[in-house]
Amino acid sequence: MNLDKDGVWLVIGFLGQALFSARFIVQWLKSEREKKSVFPIAFWYFSIGGGVTLLAYAVYRQDPVFIVGQLSGLFIYLRNLYFVIHERKNLNLE
């Protein structure tokens, strides 16, 4: 398979979308197991992985709306991951 530059970036875009979508599958499966709404830590890692990959794709496409959307989302995902990690550290210290 011989991909040109645009083809490679299209693959990167689809990879980012797949990572981003996987977070919902992870969240759904965990919630089903626990019989309540749960956001496992993997949800935030998939969110960050998908967000970074989609941001790279948006920069390549030079789409300011998509760039701003991904940057703001990444801030929220990173902040939530910080809260999860901080809470786990506090629980281990007590």
Full-model pTM: 0.85
Domain assignment of residue 55, given as a range: 5-93
Structural domain count, the chain: 1
pLDDT band per the 50, 70, 90 thresholds, residue 3: confident
| Letter string b/e over residues 55-72, b meaning 16 or more CB atoms within 10 A of that residue's CB | bbbbeeeeeeeebeebee
* Percent of the chain residues topping a pLDDT of 90: 86
Strands (DSSP E) contained in 3-45 are none
Best CA proximity match to 76, nearest among 56, 51, 59:
51
Q: Residue 22 — very low, low, confident or very high, per pLDDT cuts 50/70/90?
A: very high
- Residue 89 pLDDT more than 80? yes
